[in-house]
Structure 1
Amino acid sequence: MSRNVQRLGKLWLSLKRTSLSSSVGRPLLGHRAVPSIPLPALSQGIHFSCNQFSQNQDSQTSSKSQSQDEKRIKLFIDPEVQTLLKELTGRDLKRIFRKRKIGQKLKEPKYTFMTEAQLQKAREEAEEKADKLLQMPPVLMPRKTIDEILSFDPCIQLDEVVPSTLIFTDISMNIKDRDRIIVARDPDGTLRQATWQERDKMNAIYFPTEGREFIPPKMFTQPLALQTVLDRASEEDNTYEFVLDRACLQFEPEDPLFINAAETTYETIDRAGHYDFLKSTRHYGPMVFYLVRMRKMDNILLHCIKHGRVTTDADRLVTLFQIIFPECKSKSAEKTINAVDKIKRYIQLDAIRKGELELALNAYVEEEERKAELEEGLRRQHAM
């Protein structure tokens, strides 16, 4: 018994020495061999895992912010938001029907004698035409890329020196360009849905839109050219409206090029403070919606306060902000709160440029109080 114990002890010691050897150690029977991992490789693996974890966190955060932005963009068609944007836009008929330099020959004016009833009817027609001219372009999310493969047939691969993609287009009439069936056959035999660029080109060939060019103007494809055009804006030459009108004609509202041109124009207007250049135009509402949605409305709010539009435009801006961001701190349960108190609450709790806004609002309140005292004094003098 003691000899067997001694033998087992020696065997265990020999196995232990063998397993602890640095180069030729054998794994014990019944266990899977695990290859040794050098320390640098192990550290790289940990580093890669950490990077992958951080990338997953970033992707989750970006997807969450994208979904929130998409929800805010959908608020553009909300009836209350549309009403606020229309009220902010204004209805200056002289500005709506003003002469514009768009390369068309001016029509000679016509003078007509009208009765009171005919004049009232002409005014109603002008109001209806103004409503159409002030129809705001829709605000949409950028369209998703089309990446759908229908089939793959390697037997029809092209052996051309410069292989070309074949486009098949349904040219039936009375079909919307968005719903038209357009597919592409790649040189390697892949049949897929056509991309947005291919769809735009095919629709432009078979169903051209008046004023829409086959090749987009350089100002929409080259950022420097677009910025050069925008920097020329003046009261005599309103290039902001020209660029936005041209973008509406050239692109669909969810086209990334249209969204980029519109947002670049809004950012340029915000930097220059030329908000009134788009007043009483169809682009003023989308610009205000963009600035509020991106939390960049302090500049335009300051502009409204300095121009005395506190109870009108400034109040509507804060109301719009509270609709788009219902979780904001300045939102109050009291619906009867006056405009000045509502704006003060926004400045104290949610504004970024608090100092400048407070000074401008205090100056406005003091000016209104001074006007009220002056009117009261004049009233008393007339009463005497």
Structure 2
Amino acid sequence: MRIYLDNAATTPLDPEVFEVMKPFMLEDFGNPSSTHAHGRKVRAAIESSRKKIAELLNCTPGEIIFTSGGTEADNAIIRSAISTYNIKTIISSPIEHHAVTHTVDHLAKEGVNTIMVNLDANGHVDLQHLEHLLKNNKDVLVSLMHANNEIGNLLDINRVGELCNTYNAFFHSDTVQTVGHYKHDMKTLHVCGLTAGAHKFHGPKGVGFMYIRKDRKIHSFIHGGAQERNMRGGTENVYGIIGLAKALEIAYRDMDEHKKYIQSLKSRMIEGLKEQLPGVSFNGDSANPERSLYTVLNVSLPESEENDMLLFNLDLQGISASGGSACSSGATTGSHVLGTLYPGSKRGAVRFSFSKYNTPEDIDFAVSKMAALYKVEA
């Protein structure tokens, strides 16, 4: 028996999505940049997908640019906004995804001033400090993620957008963990650029998009072709784009139902762990349903000899989970998020993340195995 509880890393492909992708894998193979009938048919499918995504996000099709995923989109928005608007200062946080932190680090080496906003004890952005920084700096880009991929903390993205709008800052938000799980209305949200990866909401891997507000356009990041309205050179990932649009359509169609169901699974795990594993706690605001992703639970475990081998032992027990971001797998250092919030802590940590395909039985199985690993009577 294997239980998959690492949906923040990637989700299973929805069968409905696969069905709409298949014709573009086998039959409709034309290059969308070609002007003949084969190419025109594929081009029409791409533009139909773009229109569908724009409708769901309440923006214009021209504001959606397809990419290889969230990492490329984050890099493209940050780097291109810097060059387009001659930005002097980046305001970010030390617990962003590495797609942002590593990009910011490289830009700092190139001479861009970088400032880290303060965080509270649970890892939430100090909005008063953010406003202070915006008041005292000009030509600013703010990059703050909507939801942390490790601890699940949610940013008040509406308030941050309002602050950035007030002080004329370019606001970029990594929304990879929230697109497909929360609704984003781009007509009311003061965000200049946001990002998405299809595989986080039951779409295919290797495809995503960036939203760029039409009055905040940026220079292209990848050169070598006129694709994506001269914004991204290279032949489009056609069947990936088709699958992305369908996955997002399904996500919006079923969002309320799935949110309620997945939150119930998360709550079940919280209560089960509290009952069966004395000393357990939860990192960040992970256990707070009002201030964290309903798909993510980051568990803090008592000091134990089991901690060093925790993920390995869970894998042996048939449970796939994560110690943090899957993008850091194989790294010799621990989670930069937990290291920032809990410096010197020797407690173990595991991130469980849930999807519509998980069951209450999955949760009970994982809880029982966790309790057994820590030699606690279930």
- How would you bin the TM-score normalised by the shorter chain? under 0.3
Greater fraction of residues in helix? 1
TM-score by length of 2: 0.20
Computing the radius of gyration from Cα coordinates, the structure with the larger value is 1
State the structure with bigger RCO (CA 8 A, min sep 6), 1 or 2. 2
TM-score by length of 1: 0.20
Greater fraction of residues in strand? 2
